[in-house]
Amino acid sequence: MKLNKILPLMLLLACSMSFAQQGKKQSKKLNTKKIQIVDSIKVSKIAEELPSTVVATSFKDSTVFNLKDMALARKKDSLWLKELYKSDLFEDIYNSVANQDFDPVDYDELPTELLKQRLKELDARTPFKVEYNPSLESVIKQYLKNRRRGLERLMGLSEYYFPLFEQELDKHNLPLELKYLAVIESALNPRAQSRVGATGLWQFMFPTGKMFGLDVSSYVDERSDPYLATEAACKYLKSLNTSFNDWDLALAAYNSGPGNVSKAIRRSGGKTDYWKLRDYLPRETAGYVPAFLATMYIFEYAQEHGFKKQAARIPFVATDTIRVKQQITLDQVAKLTNLDREELEFLNPSYKLGIIPVVKNENYVLRLPLTAVGAFVNNEDAIYTFAQEEQDETEKALPELFEQPEKIRYRVKRGDYLGRIAERYGVGVSEVRSWNGMRSNTVKVGQNLIIYPKKSTQDIASNAPVQTSNSSEKTYTVRNGDSLWSISQKFPGVSVQNIKKWNDISGTNLKPGTKLKILKG
């Protein structure tokens, strides 16, 4: 063949190979690397009649994903990882507000005159009425005396959430001190859920959340999205303050609803001072504003009271979001980025099933630490290819969007553990933990768990544990000062709802001398 015929063929072949290589580059494979894990354990042995300790060591190989980021972009990222997230304070705060007592508290470290001086200083720099009264003093001293460790943990979490809150409050021209409201509402737990169904950092009920643009589907609960829920809370608080023209009353209305505050004003003969309305408000709301003001005081004077913050694992400013282009699970993201699943759940709390969907006209995002953002973006196509291949291979189909799985509430029984409960309903342990905002696999007798079963009712019934007749009944006599909550605390695994059900009680008022039935076992 002549040279002038061969050259065009060679050029065409070269171009074909070039295009093929470009096509392969777009669907590049994810890099992996082999690492050797050293596992060691201390072992005691006897040598010459004297005990000594040696270390037994074993080695095993493991494969992890090794996503490469651009070096230049990577240098611009920074991340501070210190302590594990903890978010188990919600019940403590919820009960302390609902069952607040205002008895005098001995706390010599804070003399009354010093407290009056500090409250006066605080009142001068905030639109809230921070005036001294014995009830507020009681709450502040109770918190300082009995809740120091929990407050330090909340101060650590505030390092993550407060910059976000302040940004939105400032945008809506609202007092920045409203950030302390989320501490009282949810203990800064974005998956906190009250007994009546209020959810998220700002505890929105379903209808109120809908009113302010927070949607709920089988995959996503936007009430648990820190950014969206904070924006909605700002709008709601602004509307309440416009209605009552008083921040204390706006806070009371946020807690119990504007209708209850309006009724309290009527019953009081037209009084609009919160402290004069307290006796006409629901019990929980009567302790709500004092709890808010006490929290504000302690956070503002934390240094003076010697608090040592348990630092947040990561600051909000050290994270960024990526708009998701293809459905992906948090488990897949954790596997690919070598991040803890718990960390991803903390950063992305609105995804109820650990799945980030792609829906028309919705912009669902994945929030990651800055150091992982670059690696994800630099390998985005390969990541989605991996996710799709894994999804195609799995035998269990994902639930259809907007078809809410049947939700059940399971009460933990004696002998239960999380693995057994998850297996009974055909779900994973990590899913149960995700649905209930759990930080560990530990469950307690009497604890209520939200579960979305994947097994049929017949299968669940066939796997149900055999009930034994070990239950025993006790009788408790109500004393002066008792409440349903304080009584429930005397019996491990017993809740307020248990006592109400066992004794056919609808309200919360108890008369001294009443006999209550308490079931054990």
The residue-averaged pLDDT of 152-173 equals: 92
The residue-averaged pLDDT of 40-57 equals: 42
| pLDDT higher than 80, residue 195 | no
| pLDDT higher than 60, residue 284 | yes
The residue-averaged pLDDT of 117-130 equals: 92
Least confident of 27-36, 140-149, 211-220, 285-294: 27-36
Strand partners, 38: 59
Q: Taking the domain 473-519, which CATH number applies? A: 3.10.350.10
| pLDDT higher than 80, residue 430 | no
| pLDDT higher than 80, residue 405 | no
Percent of the chain exceeding pLDDT 70 equals 72
What pLDDT was estimated at residue 468? 40
- With residues binned 3-state (H G I as helix, E B as strand, rest as coil), the percentages for the chain, rounded to 5, are 45, 15, 40
The residue-averaged pLDDT of 1-11 equals: 48
| pLDDT higher than 80, residue 24 | no
Residue 166 pLDDT grade (very low, low, confident, very high; cuts 50, 70, 90)? very high
| pLDDT higher than 80, residue 313 | no
DSSP 413: -
Work out the mean pLDDT of the chain and round it to a whole number. Answer: 77
Residues involved in catalysis: 185
What pLDDT was estimated at residue 322? 93
Cα four-point dihedral sign 261, 267, 272, 277: negative
What pLDDT was estimated at residue 117? 95
Greatest mean pLDDT among 91-105, 243-257, 302-316, 460-474 lies in 243-257
Please state the three-class secondary structure of 77-126 as a single string: CCCCCCCCCCCCCHHHHHHHHHCCCCCCCCCCCCCHHHHHHHHHHHHHCC
Greatest mean pLDDT among 31-35, 175-179, 280-284 lies in 175-179
Report d(CA 377, CA 337) in Å as an integer. Answer: 11
Report d(CA 141, CA 108) in Å as an integer. Answer: 9
What pLDDT was estimated at residue 442? 80
Least confident of 2-6, 188-192, 236-240, 351-355: 2-6
| pLDDT higher than 90, residue 236 | yes
The residue-averaged pLDDT of 164-185 equals: 95
Pick 97 or 266 by higher pLDDT: 266
Could you read off the pLDDT of 61-79 as tens digits, one per residue? 444 455 554 443 433 333 3
| DSSP secondary structure string for all residues of 132-162 | --HHHHHHHHHHHHH-HHHHHHHHHHHHHHH
What pLDDT was estimated at residue 175? 95
The residue-averaged pLDDT of 268-290 equals: 88
CB 139 within 8 A of CB 133: no
Residue 338 pLDDT grade (very low, low, confident, very high; cuts 50, 70, 90)? confident
Residue 161 pLDDT grade (very low, low, confident, very high; cuts 50, 70, 90)? very high
The residue-averaged pLDDT of 89-110 equals: 72
Would you kindly state where each structural domain of the chain is located, as residue ranges? 81-305, 317-397, 408-451, 473-519
Helix (H) or strand (E) holding 389: helix 380-393
What pLDDT was estimated at residue 328? 92
What pLDDT was estimated at residue 62? 47
What pLDDT was estimated at residue 233? 96
Residue 141 pLDDT grade (very low, low, confident, very high; cuts 50, 70, 90)? very high
Could you read off the pLDDT of 447-499 as tens digits, one per residue? 888 888 765 554 555 455 444 444 467 888 888 777 777 787 777 667 777 78
Strand partners, 519: 473
Q: Regarding the domain delimited by 408-451, which CATH topology (the fold level of the hierarchy) does it fall under?
A: Membrane-bound Lytic Murein Transglycosylase D; Chain A (3.10.350)
What pLDDT was estimated at residue 508? 67
The closest alpha carbon to 351, from 332, 336, 335, belongs to 332
Do 473-519 and 81-305 fall under one CATH topology?
no
What pLDDT was estimated at residue 386? 87
Q: Taking the domain 81-305, which CATH number applies? A: 1.10.530.10
